[in-house]
Structure 1
Amino acid sequence: MKLYPALISRLENQHEAIASIIASADEARLKKEIRPGKWSIHENIVHLVKYQPVFIDRLHIILTHPEPIFEAYVADNDPEFEEWKKWDNERLMNALQKDRQAILHLVTTLPEEKLARIGIHKKYGRLSIVQWTEFFLLHEAHHMFTIFQLANTIIN
């Protein structure tokens, strides 16, 4: 199992688009619940930042345990999520960058046999570390699209 160039490139750079997407949004817009009952821009960003250490932990578990099983991560069930929602945008972006560098280093320095190790997701089944990384990036891209939509929705 090998990492492919598009995966590495997205892992290096995808998250950096968040700052550009929200550049014109003021603090009120970041915190506004634009879709009733759904997360704000800020809460989506907190979720992405908070999930990175969870992902790092999962990778370490996959590397040290035979085929561990993981439930879907639900931020609203994470007791730290509420605390992280108090963080300002600068702190969030710094944490996002720091943890992304850790993920990038971890994944890109693994030998092929380690990249093939399996972790089982309750919904998606047996995934290699390469597939977990793809899943991580697609999940992030989904939230980034949501952030884009929220940042650009016309509010009447």
Structure 2
Amino acid sequence: MKLYPALVSRLANQHEAIASIVASANEAKLKKEIRAGKWSIHENIVHLVKYQPVFIDRIHIMLTQPEPIFEAYVADNDPEFEEWKKWDSERLMNALQKDRQAILHLITSLPDEKLARVGIHKKFGRLTIVQWTEFFLLHEAHHMFTIFQLANTIIE
């Protein structure tokens, strides 16, 4: 199992678009529930930031245990999520960058045989570390698209 250039590039850079996407939104818009019952821009960003340490932990578990099974991460069931929602944008973006550097280093430093280690996702089955990383990035991209939509929604 090998890393491919597009994966490494996205892992290194994809998250950096968040700051540009929300640059024109003030703090009130970041925290406003634009769609009833759905997360705000801020809550989507908190979710992305909070999931990074979860992802790091899962990779370490995959490296030390044979084919561990992971439940879906549900932010609303994470007691720390409420605390992290109190963080300001600067603190969130700093944590996003710091943890992303840790993820990038962890993933890119693994030899091919370690990248082939497997963790079991309840919905998607057996995934290698490379596939988990792709899943991580696609999940992040989904939330980034949501953030883009919310940031560009006209509020009346």
**So what's the TM-score if we normalise by structure 2?**
1.00
The answer to whether residue 120 in structure 2 is matched with residue 120 in structure 1 is yes
Total equivalences in the alignment = 156
Q: In 2, distance between residues paired with 1:155 and 1:64?
A: 49
Query: Which residue matches 1:147?
Result: 147
Structure 1 residue 155: deviation in Å?
1.5
| Amino acid across the alignment from 2:64 | T
For structure 1, the 5+ residue unaligned runs are: none
Shift of residue 28 of structure 1?
A: 0.3
User: How does 1:1-156 map onto structure 2 within 5 Å?
Assistant: 1-156=1-156
Q: Deviations over 1:43-80 (max 9, x none)?
A: 00000000000000000000000000000000000000
Percent identity of equivalent pairs: 89
SS in structure 2 opposite 1:120?
A: strand
2:43 is paired with a residue whose SS is: helix
Rounded to whole Å, the distance in 1 between the matches of 2:17 and 2:5 is 19
1: CA distance, partners of 2:140 / 2:75: 14
The Cα shift of 1:132 comes to 0.1
The runs of 5 or more residues in structure 2 that have no matched partner are none
What RMSD over aligned residues (CA atoms) do the two structures have, in Å? 0.3
Runs of 4+ in 1 over 3 A off after TM superposition: none
Please tell me the residue identity of whatever aligns with 1:154: I
TM-score, with structure 1 as normaliser: 1.00
- Partner of 1:25, secondary structure, is coil
Query: 1:34 is aligned with what amino acid?
Result: I
Residue identity in the other structure for 2:25: A
